[in-house]
Amino acid sequence: MRNTIENIIKSITPMAIILVTAGLIDSCNLNDRWDDYYENAPEKTGENILNIIAKDENYSRFYNALVEYGFETLLSKNQYFTVFVPVNSAFDGLPEYTEEEWTGILGFHITYAKLLSYEFSDRDLLTIMGKYLKMKKGTDGEVKIFESTINMDRVDNYCRNGVIHEIDKLLIPMPNIYEFIMSLDSSFSILQDFILSMDKKFIDYEKSERIGVDDNGDAIYDTVWRTENYFLDNVAGLNHESEAYTGFIPGNDHVREALSEVVEYFGNIDDLDEEAYGQLLYITFSGSFMKGTYPHADIPDYIISVTGKKYDKSILSFQQTDLVLSNGMVHMLGGMTIPKSFFLVPIVIECDRKENRKVSNTIYPIEVKSDTRATNGSFLFYGCAFVNDYVEYTVDMVLKTKYWFIWTGPRQGPSTYQLSVKDEETGEFIYLGEPVDNWAKGWFIPVESGSYTFNKFGTKTVRINIVDELPVIGLNAIYIDYIKLVPDEVYNP
């Protein structure tokens, strides 16, 4: 036992020496950093930022604006702020601003952090309004903040809840791409309506307060609503300040002219229902935005849009270029083309995905099974039982044209399958091609089920059906990997 303890002590001792030594070295480094901080830290007063601003007559116009537009409570809080304070002369010759615009302007001067002058560098500062201030430090010691210059003789007015730096101009925030589009006049309403059509409102139950129940016993809330937008949240964050985009913005006349060139695939716009019209606009604007900031001279020869569409720059004609915005740049178009490659593409239904899928009877088991031979590594098993059982899918953005239908799946279960399509006029399902014995077709062998011509653009319904009974009744099942719809113009059997 004694030898064991001695061995442990011997093994611990070198490590302890190393740790102590490391701690001493780190402590010295930390002391150096603290010394650097205290050497550079300005004298601090016990007042808050709002009081400091109020005391300087040269800041009176900024102070009055802060009070008028409701910033008193914020700047009196016990948390750190950095405020870039414009002198009174910065307010001369300003245009008229709305209350909402003034709130945005004033908030653009305030950040939720303490930034002292010795920390000035090339950086982006996030303001309380969610927009970024770009700081640039010149070789001559001059420091620019957005479009203003910091007066280095009037910095580091350090107080209880932050620090003030004087600047020579009022900081007017730029709109982001989303704000710019929404500020355009009604001649751009088609693009505006497309983006707004993606809005969905939900009750935010975390922020809503329950205030009682109704006669049915259901909860009644003092409701707070939350809005989500599929395009802005998942495709192009045009309203996000931290992401940069380039936009190609067409007017209504250019959109209508472009759509008239492809009317054979979509039909007359005025005849489309709301859902189909929204799908058409998604295709129309699928090439309108790309990631990154590109001045006109730097736009690549082949543009890859946020939706993955690739097209030649030469199809664009420009009316006005290089409009700089807070999260990128836009170019105003003088004409528009919708390439066929945007919409004349195969539509693939990955059958293992739950979206837009329903089954003939939910009492039967439905599972996603793995197999490396499947298109995305898995396929759908639906353990139905009888003839006329089916798996159904709705498919968006189906053109007014002829499609060929191909499907495949594993060689499991000797059931007989046949695809069907819902007729647009009667609502009845029309069978395509001949019935196929799933066991006889082989493993993941594509099956061509024939063609069908749609007479309207929009959402369509496709089924894979059990159409022939097995010798033992009630043992049917559907094993399906994908169903593919290929436009006749690009079909290559």
Residues 296 and 206 both lie in one domain? yes
Residue 174: which residues within 8 A CB-CB, separation 6 or more?
131, 324, 325, 326
Residues 20 and 70 both lie in one domain? no
Range from 129-133, 159-163, 383-387 carrying the lowest mean pLDDT = 383-387
Give how many domains the chain has, as a whole number.
Answer: 4
Contact in structure between 83 and 162 (CB atoms under 8 Å) = yes
Mean pLDDT of 326-347: 94
Band (414; pLDDT cuts 50, 70, 90)? confident
Range from 67-71, 175-179, 204-208, 477-481 carrying the lowest mean pLDDT = 204-208
> 287 lies in a domain?
yes
Residues 136 and 64 both lie in one domain? yes
Tell me which residue range forms the domain holding 338. Answer: 177-342
Residues 16 and 89 both lie in one domain? no
Tens of pLDDT, residues 80-90: 999 999 999 99
Band (11; pLDDT cuts 50, 70, 90)? very low
- pLDDT at res. 29: 43
Which residues sit opposite 430 in a β-bridge? 421
Query: How far is the first Cα of the chain from the last one, in angstroms, to the nearest whole number?
Result: 82
Residue 336 belongs to domain with CATH number: 2.30.180.10
> 223 lies in a domain?
yes
Mean pLDDT of 299-305: 96
Spatial distance between the Cα atoms of 170 and 389, rounded to a whole number of angstroms: 69
pLDDT of 330 > 60? The answer is yes
Mean pLDDT of 330-339: 95
User: Interior CA angle at 314 toward 311 and 317, to 5°?
Assistant: 115
- pLDDT at res. 202: 65
Residues 273 and 337 both lie in one domain? yes
> 172 lies in a domain?
no
Residue 431 belongs to domain with CATH number: 2.60.120.260
Enter the tokens of residue 196.
């707004």
Q: Is 325 exposed, middle or buried (0-12, 13-18, 19+ CB in 10 A)?
A: buried
- pLDDT at res. 486: 97
Closest CA to 266 of 275, 256, 276, 252: 276
Residues 31 and 125 both lie in one domain? no
Of all residues in the chain, the percent with pLDDT exceeding 70 is 86
Q: Which of 309, 324, 342 is the last residue of a domain?
A: 342
19/77: higher pLDDT: 77
Residues 453 and 435 both lie in one domain? yes
- pLDDT at res. 162: 93
Residues 323 and 364 both lie in one domain? no
